[in-house]
Amino acid sequence: MKIAIIGAGGVGGYFGAKLVKAGHDVHFIARGEHLKAIQNNGLVVKSILGDFRVANLRATEKITEIDQPDLIILGVKAWQIKEIREDIRKVLHKDTVILPLQNGVLAADELSEKIDKRNVLGGLCRIISKIESPGVIHHIGVTPTIVFGELDKSITERISGIDRIFKSAGIESTISEDIEADVWRKFILICVSGLLAVSETTYGELRETKETRQLMIGLLNEIFLLSKKAGVKIESDFVGKAVAFIDTFPPSSTSSLTRDVWDQKPSEIEYQNGSVVKMGEKHGIETPINKFVYSCILPRELKARGLR
């Protein structure tokens, strides 16, 4: 199977390197100094599960240079999906499968606006990782996991085959029977990233301070209530489980959105707390904490995108 990793950052770089290490045919899409480092020296992965390096990698900047991959794993930021989907469409064959691992709940829908829906899966990943320096991926926390499934909730041979590939590479993977619900579960969790950004805290600082812990729980509850209104089937005790999971994160860790906001880079705020606010208005659900987080970050987001 020919695999393309579009976006070789903390997510795509880690999972792509694992697939290469297991002997799979992988082509990376990256940019800038990171791309040069991959082309010249391969990828170094520093991981809490053990460091490793893969060399002699195929990497390019242009999606259109990939020749009809069988599986495309998308590791780009959520807001970049709209920018690249036309180029993705150009390199597909009729059975190519696209697996988006973006934060938020819109990736599959945005892909399907330009690409035949039968080529698109639903997916998510769990990992705390980042580009430490060009060509170096640092896996900081959480057991790296990919959860994916058919959008119509069917169990097909193609997803079983992809699952076997992931497991052959030592990647923990799960075939979801309801990928919409699983994507929403992660969406609820990841929206804490914006609260980290505005409170200028790590996960440890946020959860260990009574006042910010209460804000965190309130933010999660708002999105949980929104999910119920939207008809997503999530268990009634999910918020408690989410808080317990966040309590396991390394105390000094943050998230990619948090770091992007702090570094004055474009972020996924529109696809996280911004989406909560917009869907809340659509469904008549009050989301005051998410609205506060979104509103605080928005001026910096506009500056980062050169719009102010």
| C-alpha torsion sign, points 194, 135, 29, 12 | negative
State the average pLDDT for the chain.
Answer: 96
Cα 81 from Cα 182, distance rounded (Å): 20
Q: What is the pLDDT of residue 142?
A: 87
Q: What is the pLDDT of residue 253?
A: 92
Task: Give the closest residue to 230 by CA, choosing from 278, 274, 283.
Answer: 283
pLDDT in tens, 147-158: 999 999 999 999
pLDDT in tens, 158-200: 999 999 999 999 999 999 999 999 999 999 999 999 999 999 9
Q: What is the pLDDT of residue 141?
A: 87
Q: In 3-state terms, what secondary structure has residue 144?
A: strand
pLDDT in tens, 125-142: 999 899 999 999 999 988
Q: What is the pLDDT of residue 289?
A: 98
pLDDT in tens, 246-270: 999 989 999 989 999 999 999 999 9
Q: What is the pLDDT of residue 122?
A: 96
Q: What is the pLDDT of residue 150?
A: 97
Quickly list H helices, 128-249. Answer: 157-168, 179-190, 192-199, 203-208, 210-229, 238-246
Residue 278: how many CA atoms within 13 Å on its side-chain side?
Answer: 10
Q: What is the pLDDT of residue 308?
A: 80
> How far are the Cα atoms of 6, 13, 17, 85, 308 from residue 64, in angstroms, in the given order?
11, 19, 21, 11, 33
Task: Give the closest residue to 249 by CA, choosing from 188, 175, 184, 189.
Answer: 189
Q: What is the pLDDT of residue 229?
A: 95
pLDDT in tens, 208-230: 999 999 999 999 999 999 999 99
Q: What is the CA radius of gyration of the chain?
A: 19
Q: Which two tokens stand for residue 274?
A: 């911004």
Task: Give the closest residue to 301 by CA, choosing from 275, 265, 271.
Answer: 265
H or E element, residue 108: helix 107-112
Q: What is the pLDDT of residue 24?
A: 97
**Class of the CATH-defined domain 2-177:** alpha beta
CATH topology of domain 188-304: N-(1-d-carboxylethyl)-l-norvaline Dehydrogenase; domain 2 (1.10.1040)
Structural domain spans, the chain: 2-177, 188-304
